[in-house]
A = this chain, B = another copy of it.
Amino acid sequence: MSSPLVVIAGVGRGTGTAIALKFASKYPVVCLARNADNYNETVGKVNASGGKAIGIRTDLASADSVKGAFNQIEKEFGVGYGLAAAVFNASTRPVRKPFLELTEAEYVGGYEVLGRGAFLFSQFTLPRLLKSVAQSSSSSSSSSSSSYPPTLIFTGATASVKSSAQFASFSNGKWALRSLSQSLAKEFGPKGVHVSHAIIDGVIGIPSTLDSMKEADPATMIAPEAIASAYWYLHTQPRSAFSWEIDIRPFCESW
């Protein structure tokens, strides 16, 4: 029986990569992203260091594309695989615009990945997370099952709890995502799957941000590795103590 996997949706060059590297130290990792450039280096690094990773180009807002991705996972790892963790780290680029200048496509665009995409990702991962719960119960001593409760984590933002002027498009998707995470936490917690939501409240120090904000001090930003550590901690929480929500911000953040 194979080891349970970890699937990460939204592996860009910042947070997603850090999460992939963190979880790859224990599990085979599948990286989903629209652009293979985003995960190729990470996948190579994991495989070179003795871990196992694959990347699959996926449009999370498309049911066909998501289905295709999970078919490919099955081909790669066999039909019986379970999931130790699934991380929904995908997002949309925040649109900042006076409301009356927003097009319908821009507004509902905020929902495509964060609403529809999160639904599709949850639909495909929850049965595999539940499978891991069953495996843990039936053979808790087996090396093939994770010793931590299967975990589904969603990445949120400041905009998940505050809806600012001119950010209606971004926040409507982020609020929808947070509501999904809460409903799933309540439905699947009792079934043994730990569902969490992280409010990332601050600028993340990813390469593209550091390039574009040259005058900013990286020490005032959230390190992607610190988010990965937080997700790993959430994953290690025992059934006895699940956290649904955690906020994460730099020490100097004003809030």
A residues in contact (CB < 8 Å) with B: 63, 98-100, 102, 104, 107-108, 111, 115-116, 119-120, 122-123, 126-127, 149, 162-168, 171-180, 182-184, 186-190, 192, 194, 205, 219, 221-223, 226-227, 229-230, 233, 236-255
Contacts and interface: CB of A to CB of B under 8 A. Distances in A.
B175 A179 contact: yes
Contacts of A252: 189-190
A120 B240 CA distance: 32
Contact of A99 (B183, B230, B245): B183
A104 B248 CA distance: 31
A119 B108 contact: yes
A157 to B, nearest CB: 12
A180 B168 contact: yes
A175 B173 contact: no
Given A222-B240, A249-B242, A174 B167 contact: no
B238 A226 contact: yes
B183 A163 contact: yes
A149 B251 CA distance: 10
A89 B243 CA distance: 18
B250 A223 contact: no
A188 B163 CA distance: 13
Nearest to A205: B240
A98 B187 contact: yes
A66 B33 CA distance: 36
A172 B168 contact: no
A238 B255 contact: no
A115 B183 contact: no
Given A122-B99, A251-B149, A176 B186 contact: no
Nearest to A249: B242
A236 B237 CA distance: 15
A123 B108 contact: no
A107 B127 contact: no
Counting chain B CB atoms within 10 Å of each CB, the highest count among A108, A180, A251 belongs to: A251
A172 B166 contact: no
A239 B243 CA distance: 21
